[in-house]
């Protein structure tokens, strides 16, 4: 029985096991050939150090498989839900940036001692050890993937809504970032503060765990979602939605003058109704696309054929132009 307790015990244990393995092989071969049984040697200790080293080795041996399975399930689900073949590829790039960055920072801070002379992460914690606790990266990986995926899907779905509404990719990206920017920033700051509280703990594992979560959220919120994701979506262009076919572009950034209507979830009913909005000074907002004009002309023609009086119920006629009807008459409520 041999004991191993120092922080450098892993190489020592491996070396001793290699030597003992040679003796064990000789004893087993002799017994197999009918010789007298020999002694079988193994390495252990009374404090569990060797068993812990074996557990760490086994867990990190399975860690790549855990990463592959997690990312495969996530990317396949995202691609199926959004019907996009290239979305998983883009997600791999955008999710990898904060995770790789924060793990690199963790090595720099905790292993290389870049902040040993500060008390930012619990007084004295950084000076006690120059190593990462083995469980912290394992525990944090799946959570980091979930945090990055959450903000990414939220932004991507908003951009897709504007693209479905008829905007091109560039305008859809601008509007999607503008609509979700405040929500993502606020949520990211709240989560960073919550996770950052663990960095003041005297327990190394909590200290490192809080560091990974806090800085991943900050990098994801202020760098990845504001620059990396919009840049990648704009770079990929129309291939973002492949094999889904998007309808032709019918709108640009000047499509709606009223900011309250600049939302794909709110404008559908108004377009179908053919009713234009009146400004505060009594003027009528007629800024619209050919699709709107054509819908309004059809409604106006329907009212005319039905014998609807344009002056009934306080309504007044308004002339609009459309590709199908050069001049059509429609009605607008004064209120």
Reported as a single tens digit per residue, the pLDDT across 65-93 is 999 999 999 999 999 999 999 999 999 99
pLDDT at 20 over 50: yes
Model pLDDT for residues 121-141, shown as the tens digit of each residue: 555 556 566 778 888 899 899
Long-range pairs for 318-327: beta carbons < 8 A, 24 or more residues apart: 318/276, 318/284, 318/286, 320/286, 320/288, 320/293, 320/296, 321/293, 321/297, 322/290, 322/293, 322/294, 322/296, 322/297, 323/290, 323/293, 323/294, 324/294, 324/297, 324/298, 325/294, 325/297, 325/301
For residue 173, what pLDDT is reported? 93
Q: In Å, how far are 46, 85, 195 from 216, measured between CA atoms?
A: 39, 27, 10
pTM of the model: 0.65
Compute the distance between CA of residue 208 and CA of residue 272 in angstroms, rounded to an integer: 55
- Higher-confidence residue of 267 and 231: namely 231
Check if the beta carbon of residue 240 is closer than 8 Å to that of residue 84: yes
Let me know how many helices (H) and strands (E) the chain has, helices first: 10, 2
pLDDT at 96: 92
Residues 66, 90, 157: CA angle, nearest 5 degrees? 105
Q: How far apart are CA 176 and CA 83, in angstroms?
A: 19
Distances (CA, A) of 191 to 21, 210, 217: 51, 11, 7
Average the pLDDT over 282-305 and give the result.
Answer: 57
Tokens of 266: 């709110």
Question: How many residues does the structure list for the chain?
Answer: 335
Is the pLDDT at 104 greater than 90, yes or no?
A: yes
Residue 165 has a pLDDT of 87
Least confident stretch, 183-197, 206-220, 310-324: 310-324
Q: pLDDT: is 1 or 39 the higher one?
A: 39
What ranges make up the beta strands (E) of the chain?
315-320, 328-333
In percent, the amount of the chain with pLDDT more than 70 equals: 56
What's the rounded Cα separation, in Å, for the pair 20 and 35?
Answer: 19
Q: What does the pLDDT read at residue 58?
A: 85
Nearest to 293 by CA among 267, 268, 322: 322
Q: Which structural domains are found in the chain, ordered by start?
A: 1-47 (no CATH), 62-240 (1.20.1640.10), 259-333 (no CATH)
Q: b vs e for 64-73, b when ≥16 Cβ sit within 10 Å of the residue's Cβ?
A: eeeeeeebee
Lowest mean pLDDT among 106-120, 150-164, 217-231, 300-314: 300-314
pLDDT digits (tens, 9 = 90+) for 147-195: 889 899 999 999 999 999 888 899 999 999 999 999 999 999 999 999 9
Q: What was the pLDDT predicted at 166?
A: 87
> What are 186's two structure tokens?
């606020």
Please name which of 47, 94, 54 lies closest in space to residue 74, comparing C-alpha atoms.
94
Asked if residue 97 has a cis previous peptide bond (ω within 30° of 0), the answer is no
Q: What are the φ/ψ torsions at residue 135 (nearest 5 degrees)?
A: -85, -20
* Confidence label for 217 from pLDDT (cuts 50, 70 and 90): very high
- State residue 16's pLDDT score: 67
More confident residue, 325 or 225: 225
The better pLDDT of the pair 257, 205 is held by: 205
Report the alpha-carbon distance of residue 217 to residue 184 in Å, rounded.
10
Q: Residue 180: what pLDDT?
A: 92
Neighbours of 254 (CB within 10 A): 8
**pLDDT given for residue 43 in this prediction:** 56
At residue 231 the predicted structure's pLDDT band, cuts being 50, 70 and 90, is: very high
318: pLDDT strictly greater than 90: no
Q: How far apart are CA 12 and CA 43, in angstroms?
A: 11
- How confident is the prediction for the chain on average, in pLDDT? 74
Is it the case that residue 98 has pLDDT exceeding 60?
yes
> Rounded to whole angstroms, what are the CA distances from 225 to 104, 142, 278, 305?
20, 19, 37, 52
Least confident residue range of 134-143, 202-211, 219-228, 297-306:
297-306
Distances (CA, A) of 295 to 72, 92, 192: 45, 42, 48
> Does the pLDDT at position 255 exceed 90?
no
Q: 334 pLDDT exceeds 60?
A: no
Q: What is the pLDDT of residue 253?
A: 74
């Amino acid at each position: 029985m041999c004991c191993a307790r120092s922080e450098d015990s892993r190489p020592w244990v491996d070396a001793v096991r290699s030597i003992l393995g040679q003796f064990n092989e000789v004893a087993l071969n002799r017994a197999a050939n009918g010789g007298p049984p020999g002694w079988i040697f193994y390495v252990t200790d009374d404090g569990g150090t060797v068993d812990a080293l074996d557990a760490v080795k086994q867990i990190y041996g399975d860690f790549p498989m855990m990463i592959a399975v997690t990312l495969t399930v996530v990317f396949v689900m995202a691609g199926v839900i959004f019907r996009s073949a290239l979305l998983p590829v883009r997600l791999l790039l955008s999710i990898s940036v904060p995770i790789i960055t924060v793990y690199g920072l963790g090595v720099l801070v905790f292993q290389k001692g870049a902040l040993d002379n500060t008390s930012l992460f619990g007084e004295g914690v950084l000076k006690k050890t120059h190593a990462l606790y083995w469980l912290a990266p394992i525990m944090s990986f799946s959570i980091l993937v979930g945090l990055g995926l959450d903000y990414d899907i939220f932004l991507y779905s908003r951009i897709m809504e504007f693209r479905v509404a008829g905007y091109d990719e560039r305008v859809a990206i601008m509007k999607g970032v503008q609509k979700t920017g405040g929500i993502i920033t606020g949520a990211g700051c709240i989560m960073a503060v919550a996770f950052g509280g663990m960095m003041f703990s005297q327990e190394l594992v909590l200290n490192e765990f809080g560091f990974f979560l806090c800085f991943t959220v900050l990098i994801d919120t202020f760098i990845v979602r504001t620059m990396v994701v919009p840049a990648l979506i704009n770079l990929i262009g129309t291939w973002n939605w492949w094999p889904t076919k998007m309808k032709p572009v019918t709108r640009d950034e000047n499509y709606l003058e009223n900011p309250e209507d600049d939302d794909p979830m709110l404008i559908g009913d108004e377009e179908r109704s053919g009713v234009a909005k009146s400004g505060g000074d009594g003027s009528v907002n007629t800024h619209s696309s050919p699709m709107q004009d054509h819908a309004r002309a059809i409604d106006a023609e329907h009212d005319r054929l039905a014998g609807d009086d344009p002056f009934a119920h306080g309504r007044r006629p308004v002339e609009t132009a459309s590709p199908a009807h050069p001049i059509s008459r429609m009605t607008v409520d004064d209120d």
